[in-house]
Amino acid sequence: MSILQNAANVLRCFGTGCVDLTVTGISERLDLPKASASRLLRAMQEAGMLETIAGTRRYRPGRTMLDLAAAFRRSSGIIGLASAAVFRVSREFGHTGYVSILDGREVTAVADFEGTNALRVVSTIGRRHAAHQTATGRTLLSRLSVEQLAALYPEVDAPPALRRELAAVRSQGYALSHQEAAAGVDGIAVAVADPMTEEAVSLCIVYPHSPVSEKERDAMIAALARGAAQIADAVGDEAFQPPKLINKVLT
């Protein structure tokens, strides 16, 4: 395996909830000899990809990675549009919002907006979750073709009920999450894509489970859907299915 591939594998480790790693940890995760893992981490540190935490032998992502993440967000027009839409809904309802993308069988946030309510849920950019276990992931998976979905989840190891759940998402135009990613936290997600760049993003609002009524939840679905519909119109996303609540008048 090339050093570039190994370096990429090291960076992916930080997307699984880890904030720092040691030589031993990388050696075990990537099945590398400790000497090789040590050389790899030092080389990545010298390149600015990693840095050590003062006074320890632990490595964390370097500041160069922050610049790359910012450049990635700026280079994607649909991420910018989605971020603006989620920001508006987050401010309107006071709950945390974020924008996510699909990476294989995982989903990861690329932009987030902290809520203003006393009970806030803060997402972590870069943290990965199994796509089929999140509202954002299911909205993005629901946009895949039959062939793409089969390649990603062969019949022999596809999660139970996945195809039925995705059919429901396509039918209603949005996905709900009930305490899947974190205890006491629910979520709403709507996906939209740019056919020119083939980039798909999921717009999501997360909120505490108990204090939010069904009426407020439906209002958030409608607001998020309106933002996604505006993006779909702007980029020409003809596959976008407006959620049935998009024009619902809530009293």
pLDDT digits (tens, 9 = 90+) for 113-125: 988 876 655 556 6
Same domain, 130 and 203: yes
Same domain, 50 and 141: no
Three-class secondary structure of residue 87 per DSSP: helix
Residue range 158-162: average pLDDT?
Answer: 84
Three-class secondary structure of residue 187 per DSSP: strand
pLDDT at 54 over 70: yes
- Where residue 90 falls (left for φ over 0; alpha for ψ -120 to 50; beta otherwise) is alpha
Range of the domain at 10: 3-66
- What is the structure's pLDDT at 53? 85
Out of 26-30, 62-66, 230-234, least confident range: 62-66
The structural domain count of the chain equals: 2
The answer to the question of residue 243 being in a domain is no
Three-class secondary structure of residue 99 per DSSP: strand
pTM: 0.70
pLDDT at 223 over 90: yes
Structure confidence by residue, pLDDT tens digits, 165-185: 999 999 999 999 988 877 788
- What is the structure's pLDDT at 251? 34
CATH code at position 53: 1.10.10.10
Nearest to 121 by CA among 174, 186, 177: 186
The confidence band for 62, taking pLDDT boundaries of 50, 70 and 90, is: confident
Same domain, 15 and 87: no
Same domain, 212 and 101: yes
- What is the structure's pLDDT at 250? 36
The answer to the question of residue 244 being in a domain is no
Same domain, 194 and 231: yes
